[in-house]
């Protein structure tokens, strides 16, 4: 028997789609991703990008406060280590994701801890194959595989992730370690300028490090950065190494000039990478319409339809603009409603 809905991906979009599909009695099957070294290295383990962050302060419904008893009673004991470890106020990314996953499980979601590596959308029911060799037939599919932030690929950058290195100013910028300290933002596009601008609320100075002598960002955004007295643009510069130590985390960066290879150090308590994202769509090449940057295309305005009828997309995999947990969750909900209505309209 084919599955009614197969959901590929396990971030906020995937679990919200699962909660809605499960409550509509569609018994969704979620492929939450495989636990492999490759996925660990590229940041695509189960539970997605949020599972790699620390505090989440902007997801509605989780104000600061001691939520440990709530977590303890909401999550099965095997996940209580997170609560015992953090002992802090509010919600963390991993806790939020485990809560969403548990909510989906509570309503009867089936879960396979594996990647989908091959799809056949030419015939119906659709065929999907996992890394471990499992083959599944699906009447409808929701793709919610997200995107991964690009990093420079430096060992020192990897070492200080979550200890001063971040790829999300909106998520991490307000943390105490960044207050009234100099910060570095790497990149020259709209994201970099926006993040630099946002971080000036907290930082003493924001060094915007760009490898060329001209920003890629739109004129209006570029002008905003140039006019902001708290932003210092470090032109023609590349981060060669993130500097730091075990107790303080990031303490600065070493820059290398793209013009004459000279180097210099900058003090900073944080280094924010804003050099773009890569959507997790490789396994869909040639199967669904994508943008030039390989994001899935929504083909109907205000709906989550893709170029194949019965296949829907939710979250960052189809969104290179908002890229927030709450917007991903919202489109996950939309995709489940779209799938349910499409199945109903076909009598499936």
Q: How far is the CB of 209 from ligand NAP (least distance, A)?
A: 8
As a whole number of angstroms, the distance between CA 79 and CA 83 comes to 8
Catalytic status, residue 91: no
- Measured from each CB, the residue nearest to ligand NAP is 189
Residue among 152 and 337 whose Cβ is closer to ligand NAP: 152
Q: Which of 115, 171, 197, 338 is catalytic?
A: 171
User: Is residue 195 within 8 Å of 210, Cβ to Cβ?
Assistant: no
231/274 with CB nearer ligand NAP? 274
CA dist 168 and 161 (Å) reads 11
Transcribe 218-282 into DSSP letters.
Answer: -HHHHHHHHH-TTEEEETTEEEEEEEEETTTEEEEEEEEETTT--EEEEE-SEEEE-S-EEES-G
Min dist CB 216 to ligand NAP, Å, is 4
Contact residues: ligand NAP, CB under 6 A? 152, 186-192, 194, 211-212, 216, 238, 274-276, 320-321
Minimum distance, C-beta of residue 347 to ligand NAP, in the bound complex (Å): 40
- ω into residue 125 within 30 of 0, thus cis? yes
Q: Are 314 and 10 in contact (CB under 8 A)?
A: no
CB of 232 to ligand NAP, least distance (A): 17
Nearer to ligand NAP, 125 or 252 (CB): 252
Q: How far is the CB of 220 from ligand NAP (least distance, A)?
A: 9
Phi-psi bin for 261: left (phi > 0), alpha (psi -120 to 50), beta? left
In this structure, what are the phi and psi dihedrals at residue 233, rounded to the nearest 5 degrees? -90, 125
Give me the catalytic one of 168, 197, 316, 333.
168
- Closer residue to ligand NAP (CB): 155 or 347: 155
What minimum distance in Å lies between the beta carbon of 299 and ligand NAP? 19
Structure-block tokens of residue 177: 């370690």
Cα–Cα dist 265/273, whole Å: 17
* Cα–Cα dist 114/321, whole Å: 28
66 an active-site residue? no
Query: Distance (Å, rounded) from C-alpha 140 to C-alpha 214?
Result: 46
Of 198 and 283, CB closest to ligand NAP = 198
Is residue 268 a contact partner of residue 251, using CB atoms and an 8 Å limit? Answer: yes
Shorter beta-carbon distance to ligand NAP: residue 3 or 194 = 194
168 is catalytic: yes
Please give the positions annotated as active site.
168, 171-172
């Amino acid at each position: 028997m084919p599955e009614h809905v197969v959901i590929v991906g396990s971030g906020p979009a995937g679990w919200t789609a699962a909660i809605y599909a499960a409550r509509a009695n569609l018994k969704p099957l979620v492929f939450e991703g495989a636990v492999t070294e490759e996925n660990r290295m590229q940041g695509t383990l189960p539970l997605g990008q949020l599972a790699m962050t620390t505090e989440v302060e902007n997801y509605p419904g989780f104000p600061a406060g001691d939520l440990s008893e709530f977590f303890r009673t909401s999550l099965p004991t095997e996940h209580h280590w997170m609560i015992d470890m953090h002992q802090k106020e509010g919600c963390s990314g991993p806790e939020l994701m485990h809560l969403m996953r548990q909510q989906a499980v509570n309503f009867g979601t089936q879960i396979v801890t594996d990647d989908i590596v091959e799809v056949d959308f030419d015939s119906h029911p659709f065929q999907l194959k996992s890394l471990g060799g499992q083959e599944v037939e699906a009447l409808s599919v929701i793709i919610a595989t997200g995107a991964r932030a690009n990093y420079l690929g430096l060992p020192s950058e990897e070492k200080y992730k979550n200890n001063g290195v971040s790829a999300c100013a909106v998520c991490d910028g307000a943390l105490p370690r960044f207050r009234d300290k100099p910060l570095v933002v790497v990149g020259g596009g709209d994201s970099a300028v926006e993040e630099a601008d946002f971080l000036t609320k907290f930082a003493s100075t924001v060094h915007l490090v760009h490898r060329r002598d001209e920003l890629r960002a739109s004129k209006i955004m570029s002008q905003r950065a140039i006019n902001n007295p708290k932003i210092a643009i470090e032109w023609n510069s590349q981060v060669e190494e993130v500097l730091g130590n075990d107790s303080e985390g990031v303490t600065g960066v070493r820059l290398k000039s793209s013009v004459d290879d000279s180097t210099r150090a900058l003090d900073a308590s944080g280094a924010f990478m804003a050099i773009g994202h890569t959507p997790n769509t490789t396994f869909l090449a040639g199967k669904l319409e994508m943008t030039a940057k390989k994001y899935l295309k929504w083909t109907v305005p205000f709906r989550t339809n893709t170029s194949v009828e019965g296949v829907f997309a939710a979250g960052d995999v189809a969104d290179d603009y908002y890229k927030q947990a709450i917007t991903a969750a919202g489109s996950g909900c939309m995709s489940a409603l779209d799938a349910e209505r499409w199945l109903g309209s076909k009598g499936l």
